[in-house]
């Protein structure tokens, strides 16, 4: 591809663009990870993470991708031969299922069509049927990055309670944390899994487990082997602000800055901004005459929008044309929807003008690639943003 002037528009559903403040924080000189200076940093980020997960319980930080956090959740709570209940919401739910199976876990997988979130009623029905309580955990992806659908975690918690079932509740928030309202303690989640490269606006490389007392008790009784992922060792050493092995020091500097930025804007304002940008994106898709993959408006993601291509048109070819002509990266379709959808990310450091620039690239790309559509999507998005308004927020003083 020829060299292009101007900024690259990165609008995949993560990794998300990294703010300059975080880049500068990561650029700090390396320090001794056994020093008092590091202990102060460690305690700051470990406590700060609790405010983002909305928990008073431990949050464990690993140098790993989100896949590592998935594995940690499994090996600390389950034993070979255990049964877990999952819902097929998309590609990432399917991958979590595969990891569980590799550890000898039996997965009861509620089938889905990849166009909606997990069904609380279906989960409750399966749990009611499980009179012997053989199901040891319910595992749900909050925001399915491959499809742009969210699952109603509070309602699933109510479904588990209504069934009177003692299963652990595990939730993947890799693409929803710090972008979509989430409440680990209030919703009585036992293990929340997350990663650094989405709403936290960091590079890939940090993963997280927020752990309830019930999950911690399970980790003292289960029989799956672990060393690197062991919660017990981590929590013990984390108490002093340290880690049992060399931590990703400079990413922790970035994490400290990310937590500060989120609280400066205010988490409610962060969530409202994501909803506002998502609504404008869906207005553009409707004006183009295209279809959003997620069918239920109540479950459409604030983080990304998956757009279905017209029949006989390849989404990957379209993405290639848009990249080459307009320097915009859009997310590919994964798994069952490969080549059938493209995904527009509107998460992390993204505002109205950044979104409108991206949507302009999407619309011009549709024309350049010969994809049947109506014009006017960007205008529809502008109208939607004007109608939704923008609440007053903190305005930083200019030095």
398 assigned to some structural domain: no
Query: Do 302 and 257 sit in the same domain of this protein?
Result: no
| pLDDT number for residue 349 | 96
> Among residues 207, 237, 263, which one ends one of the domains?
263
81 assigned to some structural domain: yes
Q: What is the CATH number of the domain that holds 338?
A: 3.90.1150.10
Query: Do 312 and 173 sit in the same domain of this protein?
Result: no
309 assigned to some structural domain: yes
> Among residues 263, 294, 317, which one ends one of the domains?
263
Query: Do 184 and 314 sit in the same domain of this protein?
Result: no
> Among residues 263, 285, 314, which one ends one of the domains?
263
3-state secondary structure of 122: helix
327 assigned to some structural domain: yes
| pLDDT number for residue 2 | 65
Radius of gyration of the chain (CA): 21
- How many structural domains compose the chain? 2
| pLDDT number for residue 1 | 54
Query: Do 337 and 225 sit in the same domain of this protein?
Result: no
Phi, psi angles (nearest 5°) of residue 266: 95, 125
Query: Do 250 and 276 sit in the same domain of this protein?
Result: no
Query: Do 44 and 148 sit in the same domain of this protein?
Result: yes
Query: Do 155 and 77 sit in the same domain of this protein?
Result: yes
**Rounded to whole angstroms, how far apart are CA atoms 15 and 202?**
8
State pTM to two decimals. Answer: 0.94
**Rounded to whole angstroms, how far apart are CA atoms 99 and 301?**
25
**Rounded to whole angstroms, how far apart are CA atoms 190 and 128?**
20
Measured CA distances, 270 to 185, 197, 200, 333, 354 (Å): 20, 16, 11, 27, 15
Phi, psi angles (nearest 5°) of residue 95: -65, -40
161 assigned to some structural domain: yes
| pLDDT number for residue 3 | 74
Q: What is the CATH number of the domain that holds 75?
A: 3.40.640.10
343 annotated to bind ligand: yes
**182, 53 in Cβ contact below 8 A?**
yes
3-state secondary structure of 218: helix
Query: Do 337 and 314 sit in the same domain of this protein?
Result: yes
394 assigned to some structural domain: no
3-state secondary structure of 17: coil
Query: Do 33 and 134 sit in the same domain of this protein?
Result: yes
Closest CA to 65 of 163, 176, 180, 195: 195
69 assigned to some structural domain: yes
Query: Do 176 and 39 sit in the same domain of this protein?
Result: yes
Query: Do 166 and 303 sit in the same domain of this protein?
Result: no
Closest CA to 349 of 21, 3, 98: 21
What H or E segment, with its residue span, contains residue 379?
helix 377-388
Query: Do 86 and 177 sit in the same domain of this protein?
Result: yes
**Rounded to whole angstroms, how far apart are CA atoms 39 and 44?**
8
Hunting for tokens 């004007």 — which residue is that?
A: 386
The pLDDT profile of the chain, 399 residues, written as one tens digit per residue, is: 567 889 999 999 999 999 999 999 999 999 999 999 999 999 999 999 999 999 999 999 999 999 999 999 999 999 999 999 999 999 999 999 999 999 999 999 999 999 999 999 999 999 999 999 999 999 999 999 999 999 999 999 999 999 999 999 999 999 999 999 999 999 999 999 999 999 999 999 999 999 999 999 999 999 999 999 999 999 999 999 999 999 999 999 999 999 999 999 999 999 999 999 999 999 999 999 999 999 999 999 999 999 999 999 999 999 999 999 999 999 999 999 999 999 999 999 999 999 999 999 999 999 999 999 999 999 999 999 998 765 444 333 322
68 assigned to some structural domain: yes
Range of the domain at 344: 9-16+266-388
């Amino acid at each position: 591809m020829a060299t292009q002037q101007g900024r690259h528009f990165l609008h995949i559903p993560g990794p998300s663009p990294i703010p300059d403040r975080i880049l500068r924080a990561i650029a700090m000189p390396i320090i001794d990870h056994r020093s008092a200076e590091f202990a102060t940093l460690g305690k700051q980020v470990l406590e700060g993470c609790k405010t983002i997960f909305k928990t008073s319980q431990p949050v464990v930080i690993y140098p790993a991708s989100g896949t590592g956090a998935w594995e940690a959740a499994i090996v600390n709570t389950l034993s070979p031969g255990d049964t877990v209940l999952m819902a097929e919401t998309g590609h990432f739910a399917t991958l979590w299922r595969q990891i569980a199976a590799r550890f000898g876990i039996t997965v009861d997988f509620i089938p889905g069509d990849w166009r909606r979130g997990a069904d609380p009623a279906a989960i409750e029905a399966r749990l009611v049927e499980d009179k012997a309580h053989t199901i040891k955990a319910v595992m749900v992806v909050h925001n399915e990055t491959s499809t742009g659908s969210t699952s109603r975690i509070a309602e699933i918690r109510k479904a588990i309670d209504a069934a009177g079932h003692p299963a652990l509740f595990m939730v993947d928030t890799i693409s929803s944390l710090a972008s979509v309202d989430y409440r680990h303690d209030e919703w009585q989640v036992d293990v929340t899994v997350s990663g650094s490269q989405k709403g936290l606006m960091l590079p890939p490389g940090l993963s997280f487990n927020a752990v309830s007392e019930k999950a911690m008790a399970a980790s003292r009784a289960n029989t799956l082997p672990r060393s690197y992922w062991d919660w017990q060792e981590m929590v013990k050493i984390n108490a002093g602000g340290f880690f049992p092995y060399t931590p990703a020091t400079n990413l922790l500097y970035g994490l400290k800055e990310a937590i500060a930025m989120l609280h400066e804007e205010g988490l409610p304002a962060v969530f409202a901004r994501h909803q506002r940008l998502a609504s404008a994106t869906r207005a553009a898709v409707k004006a183009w005459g295209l279809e959003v993959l997620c069918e239920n408006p109540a479950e459409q993601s604030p983080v990304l929008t998956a757009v279905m291509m017209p029949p006989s048109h390849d989404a990957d070819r379209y993405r290639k044309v848009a990249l080459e002509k307009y320097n915009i990266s859009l997310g590919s379709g994964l798994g069952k929807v490969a080549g059938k959808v493209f995904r527009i990310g509107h998460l992390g450091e993204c505002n109205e003008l950044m979104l409108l620039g991206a949507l302009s690239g999407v619309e011009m790309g549709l024309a350049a690639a010969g994809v049947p559509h109506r014009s006017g999507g960007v205008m529809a998005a502008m109208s939607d943003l004007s109608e939704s308004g923008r609440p007053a927020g903190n305005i930083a003083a200019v030095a």
